[in-house]
Amino acid sequence: MARSPRYPVASPCPACGHPELDVFHCQDGIPTNSCLLLDTRSEAERFPRGRMEFGFCHACGFLANIAFEEAEYSSRYEETQGFSKLFVEWAQDLAKRWVDKYDLHGKSVLEIGCGKGEFLVWMVEAGAGSGVGIDPGVHPERIDSEVADRLTWVADFYSEEYAHLEADAVVCRHTLEHIAPVGEFMATVRKAIGDRPETIVLFELPDVARVLDEVAFWDVYHEHCSYFSLGSLARLFRRTGFEVLHLELDYDGQYLLIEARPSTVPAPGEPNALEDDLEALTKGVDKYWEEYGAIKGAWRQRLADLRAKGGKAVIWGAGSKGVAYLTNLGLLDEIEYAVDINPYKTGKFMAGTGQQIVAPEFLVDYKPDLVIAMNPIYLGEIRAKLDELGLDPELVGA
C-alpha cells in the first residue's frame, strides 16, 4: 500500500510559532466529530467529513491536524468513560491524589472542559470545598452526589469571559487536544490566573508518543487537532508562563499528567529528564509514516478472511477510537455492530460508517466470532462481561 505523501508546509506551529511543519499523514473523508449521538443510520452515513493533514514540529515536538475544521460540541456530545469500573476507580484515585498532594481540602476547583462532570464531583467528594465546571456538553441532571450543592455548571466553552472565576486549582482533562490554537489557549489560562502564584494547574491528555510508536491510527481523529508528548506539553507550559512541578505517564502509559503553577519568570526551572524526547518523537513520526499502510492492510485482510469463512466481528467501544478504526479501514459490511456499555449510546449509530451501537447483552443472540477492543486496557473488563453472558469469542485489542 502506497505511503501518504510527505511534505513541509509553511504553517506556524500553534505551540511554539516555528514557521514550518512536516506533514507526514494525509486522509480525506473522516467524520468531523466522533462522539455525537446520531439517531439514524442515514444521519450517521451523511455525517459531515473533513480532512487530516498530520503535521509535526521538529522544533518543539508538537503535532497538529493543520486541516482541522471546528467540530460540534453540544449536549449531543457523549464522551464519558464513566460507565467503566476500571476507569472510574483510576480517575477517583487520581482525583484523591491531586486533592491530597496539593492540599485542596476545603478549597475551590475550576475545571475547564469538565465533560459530564464526574471528575469534578470526585474531587469535591475527595475533600475539595467547591467546584465550577465549564463545558458545552455538561449534563447537570446526571449528577447524583451528596456534594451536588457545592458544584456550579456552565454550559459553554472556556474563554476570557470566565477570567473572573478564581480558584485554588485549575483542572483541564482531555480538552487541550480538542483546541487548535493551543498557545493562545494556554496564554488565556495564564492571564486569567493573574497574580496568584499559589494556584495549582493540573492537566491530563493523551500521549502521542504511544500513538506513533504503536501506529495506533484509531487514536488519530478529526476533533483531536492537537497532539502532545510529555516533552512538547512541558515546553508549551514553560513557554506560556508556567513552572512545571511534575510530569508522568499514567493509565497504562496512555495519558500524560502535568502539574504546574504560574510563574513570573520566563521558562522557569530546569527541564525534567522526561522532556528530552524530540529524537524519539522524530523516530515515531517516521515509523507511523512508514508502517501505517501495512498495519491498516493487515487489519483489513484479517476481517476479510473472517467474513469469507462466514464469521462475524464486532468492535467494543463506540467512541472516537471506534469511529477512527472503522473509517480508516473503510468498514461497512465487514462489521455490522459496535458494542458500548454506555446506555446513552444504545440504539444510536456510528458517525461516517453507520454501524448501530448495541449493549453487550445484544451479543447473546448475535454470537460474534471476534471482538475487537478499541482500547486494550479494557480487555479484562470485556472478557469478564463476555464470560457473564456465556460467550467465548476471540477477543483482541486494537
Q: Report d(CA 156, CA 137) in Å as an integer.
A: 8
Nearest alpha-carbon partner for 317 in 389, 385, 373: 373
Q: Which long-range contacts (CB under 8 A, 24 or more apart) does 299-306 make?
A: 299/329, 300/329, 300/330, 303/329, 303/331, 303/334, 303/335, 304/334, 306/369, 306/370
Q: Report d(CA 222, CA 324) in Å as an integer.
A: 9
DSSP 123: H
Q: Tens digit of pLDDT for each residue in 315-350?
A: 999 999 999 999 999 988 889 999 999 999 999 999
Return the pLDDT at 75: 73
Does residue 156 fall inside a structural domain? Answer: no
Query: What 3-state class would DSSP assign to 328?
Result: helix
Instruction: Return the H-helix or E-strand segment holding 159.
Output: none
Q: Tens digit of pLDDT for each residue in 208-241?
A: 999 999 999 999 998 899 999 999 999 999 999 9
Does residue 176 fall inside a structural domain? Answer: no
Does residue 378 fall inside a structural domain? Answer: yes
Q: What share of the chain is helix, strand, coil (3-state, %, to 5)?
A: 35, 25, 40
Task: With a cut of 80, say whether residue 92 has pLDDT above it.
Answer: yes
Q: How, if at all, do strands 242-250 and 255-262 pair?
A: antiparallel
Does residue 130 fall inside a structural domain? Answer: no
Does residue 36 fall inside a structural domain? Answer: no
Return the pLDDT at 268: 67
Instruction: Report the b/e string of 269-299 with b at 16+ CB within 10 A.
Output: eeebebbebbeebeebbeebbeebeebbeeb
Q: Give the residue ranges of DSSP H helices in 102-146.
A: 118-125
Nearest alpha-carbon partner for 280 in 176, 177, 210: 210
Does residue 93 fall inside a structural domain? Answer: no
CB 206 within 8 Å of CB 175: no
Task: With a cut of 70, say whether residue 2 has pLDDT above it.
Answer: no
Q: Report d(CA 370, CA 386) in Å as an integer.
A: 12
Structural domain of 393: 309-397
Q: Report d(CA 387, CA 398) in Å as an integer.
A: 20
CB 351 within 8 Å of CB 339: no
Q: Tens digit of pLDDT for each residue in 17-29?
A: 999 999 999 999 9
pTM of the model: 0.94
Q: Report d(CA 231, CA 60) in Å as an integer.
A: 8
Instruction: Return the H-helix or E-strand segment holding 206.
Output: strand 200-206
Looking up residue 360, the CATH number of its domain turns out to be 3.40.50.720
Q: How, if at all, do strands 226-227 and 63-65 pair?
A: antiparallel
Q: Is 347 left (phi over 0), alpha (psi -120 to 50) or beta?
A: left
CB 281 within 8 Å of CB 229: yes
Return the pLDDT at 3: 76
Does residue 158 fall inside a structural domain? Answer: no
Does residue 244 fall inside a structural domain? Answer: no
Count of the separate structural domains present in the chain: 1
Confidence of residue 264 (pLDDT cuts 50, 70, 90): confident
Q: Report d(CA 175, CA 219) in Å as an integer.
A: 15
The grid coordinates listed for 378 are 479494557
